[in-house]
Structure 1
Amino acid sequence: MFGILKKTLGAAAKEVKAEYGESKDFLEAICAASALVAASDGDIEESERRKVVSIISNHPTLSKLYQSNIIEQTADTMFKRAKDVSGRQQLARELDDIKSRPDGSQMAEDVYLIALDIANSDGEIEPQEDAVLKKIAARLGIDASKFDF
């Protein structure tokens, strides 16, 4: 019986990896949303970038989908873009990339939840972070009130 369960769970894990890990769009959207949250106060600190990389690298699903060096490189790219207005607009466009995918609505919710984790990683969501989270939710086409618990 446990052998069947193990095979079923293993197949499900491979299916998730095939859907989400096949393309970097999901990781890029997560890192883009995280960089937007980190830049919300107008100052991006190295500690914030490290925190984002740590949260993504230690996430139970994401750590299996993407190698740590890919996570680090993608986060670095997105954080560099977050330094000016045109770069932040490019980050917003990264969010658009997942919406057109067949699994885009689930990806959008996952991206939002990780951005929420980033904003709350110091124990409190600042007003600037909350404003950016609302913009991210709107851009992704999700109802942020679903996650108010």
Structure 2
Amino acid sequence: MALWDRIRESASTMQTQLTAKKNDLKSGAFRDASMAMCALVAAADGTIDPAERRRVAQLISTNEVLQNFDALDLQRRFDANLDKLTADFDFGKVSVLQEIAKAKKKPAEARAVIQIGIVIGGADGDFDKTEQAVVREACFTLDLPPHEFDL
């Protein structure tokens, strides 16, 4: 199976797992951590291009799990995290990882945050090395083994 097909299949599998847990993913910690994860993956290569913003906007508006929250509020949180990352990536990353760490107390939420990162990273068919690296770093932040997610 081609790498691109495996990435697409993995993102699809992650989305299916997220949808199955929709009713368990309603906390503010999950909301904050998932938007921080989206920003971290979008900015992983040091730049945020319009296509990445559109992918996150599409995820916010169409993802069943994220429909538990107000779309405008999610967009505001995503943008605030992006602002931190674009102002100073290294310093911003520390702050964004602290947001992601909010999901640490509930393992189902922590796993869902990682799955959202994989869905965002694979949305363009290319879950590249820099995106994988920041999702792997988030795994360590959440005390989850990266190999559980093939990272």
Give TM-score, length-normalised by structure 2: 0.76
**Within the alignment, does 1:87 sit opposite 2:92 as a pair?**
yes
Which position in structure 2 is the counterpart of 1:140?
142
Q: Do 1:30 and 1:111's aligned partners in 2 also have CA atoms closer than 8 Å?
A: yes
Q: Which residue, out of 30, 33, 39, partners 1:29? A: 33
**Within the alignment, does 1:68 sit opposite 2:80 as a pair?**
no
Matches of 1:24 and 1:81 in 2, distance apart? Answer: 20
Matches of 2:74 and 2:101 in 1, distance apart? Answer: 20
Q: Which residue, out of 116, 119, 124, partners 2:118? A: 116
> Higher RCO, 1 or 2 (CA under 8 Å, sep at least 6)?
2
Q: Which residue, out of 115, 118, 130, partners 1:128? A: 130
Comparing 82-91 and 138-147, the one that deviates more = 138-147
- State the shift of 1:105 in Å: 0.6
Q: Which amino acid aligns with 2:71?
A: S
Which position in structure 1 is the counterpart of 2:10?
none
Give TM-score, length-normalised by structure 1: 0.77
> What is the identity percentage for the equivalent residue pairs of Structure 1 and Structure 2?
28
The gaps in structure 1 that reach 5 residues or longer are 1-14
Q: Flag the structure with larger Rg.
A: 1
- Paired residue secondary structure (2:43): helix
Matches of 2:45 and 2:57 in 1, distance apart? Answer: 19
Which position in structure 2 is the counterpart of 1:107?
109
